[in-house]
Structure 1
Amino acid sequence: MTILKRFTITACAMLIGAASFTLHAEDLDKVKQSGTLTFAMSGKYPPFNFIDESGKLQGFDVDIGDRVSAKLGAKAVPVTTAWDGIVGGLLAGKYDAIIGSLAITDDRKKAVDFTQSYYRSGAQLFVPKDSNVQSIGQLNGKTVGVTLGETYEAWLRQNMPGVHVKTYKGLPDVLIDLRNHRIEGFVTDRIAGILTIRDKQIDAKPVGPLLYPELMAIAVRKDSPKLRDAINAALDSIYKDGEYSSISKKWLGEDVR
């Protein structure tokens, strides 16, 4: 190899390394420099995150993101994206974090870093109020709705192979098909499901125990431990000063931490 070729290769490697560093620089520094914290959610998961009648993004996750941003000295910039691509968007640098009721799973931990949990719930089966179904096992051969990309879909496919799984972009779409008798039930977060069917006056009810418990946390890229730690400190702060409890009771009726 000639000296010129070695020099060229070395220079290219240095440029690639510099570009990589710029692209993946510690996100806490980026947040401080920009003065904003951009965080993603689906916008289709009431009461945690949803678009209200005036077109405004609202909900528990939005308010938590707002208070976390304030503790970091940054302006909150919530954005919506398709749920099945939300982790990919984080890895691509489209936003700084995911604050959208993302459950901690072993598979997700391989791709992203999670903060401490900011609420706990679990997977719940819901059926029409006049249904005699008492457990998921009674729905073999029947169709059950889930939001595409959520942990509920993977759990059903792995643990209930006899159930026909139908996927949707969001919980509102699931409820339309339940109302129109296109599905026999649906699986979603217990808290979200109970509050949504109450607020939207949906003829549905939860049945049986939790299919499994879940802990929800904020996700950041793996190369951003400082941002993760700063968000953890912000969460600790809103727990201690009562802001978390106020937000939780406002949207969910109780403290769900």
Structure 2
Amino acid sequence: MRLNRVFSALVVAATICLPFTAAQADDLQQVEKAGKLSVALSGAFPPFSFVDENNQAVGFDVDIGTEIAKRLKVEANIVTTAWDGIIAGLVTGRYDTIIGSMSITEERKKAVDFVGPYYRSGLAVFVKKGAAVKTVDELHGKTVGVTLGEAAEKWARDQNAFEIRTYKGLPEMLLDLGAGRVDAVVADDVPVFVAIAKSEAPVEQVKDDRMPRYDIGIAIRKGNPELAAAMQKALDEMMADGTYEAISNKWIGQDIR
């Protein structure tokens, strides 16, 4: 559910400056030759990706990426990286794909191609339980927490109605909400629901049908139709044979496709 951001000049410049040969070659052959699919994600977006007590990246997106690599007959190489530079890293060749809960937007399509979508999500507003907030409009002028670079940040800023405080990830943002350092948070709904269920956090959703929903896709570099087709085939097969549902139930508790 990661989502819509304003692209920096770095991404645009990186796209323009790629060598012609690299831009025209299909990455599938390189993946097969290397014997690995390098998968980028933030590692700070539980339950989709996070670092466990053994310092290993785990989560829904990690398992999806690992399974796709397996079906491409290569190993998965999981790379954790800062979300606000993740597209620039893909465009400049640091990894082969982003399987990191990234929303498909027209803006992002200018820089990358997408496989999928592989699930749907949406933004939601959450407040401390007992705050007696019934509508989003009641939060106008209040301090709202968002994760830097995600769709929630863009949405909140576009409203021109909140004081914005940015965070690197969901856990610290929810801690500040519970401690009263922000009045509300705007985030993708699924990971917050999971966090509430696991920790019994004193947080509740402010229901509002006006909140946006979006498709979540797998990003690859532009001009790679063979890699796109191979990854889409792997994803379709996962959804058909029950593997996707098992992964989704493991991390989310329901099928989120």
TM-score (norm 1): 0.89
Instruction: Identify the residue that residue 214 of structure 2 maps to in structure 1.
Output: 214
Alignment map for 1:218-257 (pairs within 5 Å): 218-257=218-257
Do structure 1's residue 122 and structure 2's residue 122 form an aligned pair?
yes
Q: CA deviation at 1:176?
A: 2.0
Instruction: Identify the residue that residue 87 of structure 1 maps to in structure 2.
Output: 87
AA matched with 1:151: A
Give 5+ residue unaligned stretches, structure 2. Answer: 1-16
Instruction: Identify the residue that residue 108 of structure 1 maps to in structure 2.
Output: 108
Q: Is the 8 A contact 1:63 1:247 kept in 2?
A: yes
TM-score (norm 2): 0.89
1:121-144 residue CA offsets vs partner (Å, 9 max, x unmatched): 100111101111122211111111
- Determine the C-alpha separation between the residues in 2 that align with 1:33 and 1:106: 32
Instruction: Identify the residue that residue 186 of structure 1 maps to in structure 2.
Output: 185
Q: CA deviation at 1:72?
A: 0.6
Instruction: Identify the residue that residue 171 of structure 1 maps to in structure 2.
Output: 170
AA matched with 2:253: G
Instruction: Identify the residue that residue 150 of structure 2 maps to in structure 1.
Output: 150
Instruction: Identify the residue that residue 204 of structure 2 maps to in structure 1.
Output: 205
Deviation larger for 201-210 or 163-172: 201-210
- Determine the C-alpha separation between the residues in 1 that align with 2:23 and 2:119: 31
Alignment map for 1:23-172 (pairs within 5 Å): 25-158=25-158, 160-172=159-171
Q: CA deviation at 1:200?
A: 2.5
Q: CA RMSD in A?
A: 1.6
- Determine the C-alpha separation between the residues in 2 that align with 1:129 and 1:238: 38
Q: Is the 8 A contact 1:194 1:206 kept in 2?
A: no
Q: Is the 8 A contact 2:23 2:223 kept in 1?
A: no
Secondary structure in 1 matching 2:194:
helix
- Determine the C-alpha separation between the residues in 2 that align with 1:77 and 1:113: 20
AA matched with 1:156: A
Flag the 1:194–1:28 CA change in 2: closer, same or farther, 3 A: same
1:146-184 residue CA offsets vs partner (Å, 9 max, x unmatched): 1100011111111x2121111111111211211221101
Deviation larger for 66-75 or 132-141: 132-141
Secondary structure in 1 matching 2:208:
strand
Number of equivalenced pairs: 240
- Determine the C-alpha separation between the residues in 1 that align with 2:181 and 2:188: 21
AA matched with 1:232: Q
AA matched with 1:236: D
AA matched with 1:120: R
AA matched with 1:172: P
Q: CA deviation at 1:54?
A: 2.1
Instruction: Identify the residue that residue 11 of structure 2 maps to in structure 1.
Output: none
Q: Is the 8 A contact 1:194 1:205 kept in 2?
A: no
- Determine the C-alpha separation between the residues in 1 that align with 2:183 and 2:245: 35
Q: Is the 8 A contact 2:142 2:183 kept in 1?
A: yes
Q: Is the 8 A contact 2:84 2:148 kept in 1?
A: yes
AA matched with 2:150: E
AA matched with 2:106: D
- Determine the C-alpha separation between the residues in 2 that align with 1:212 and 1:86: 23
Q: Percent identity?
A: 45
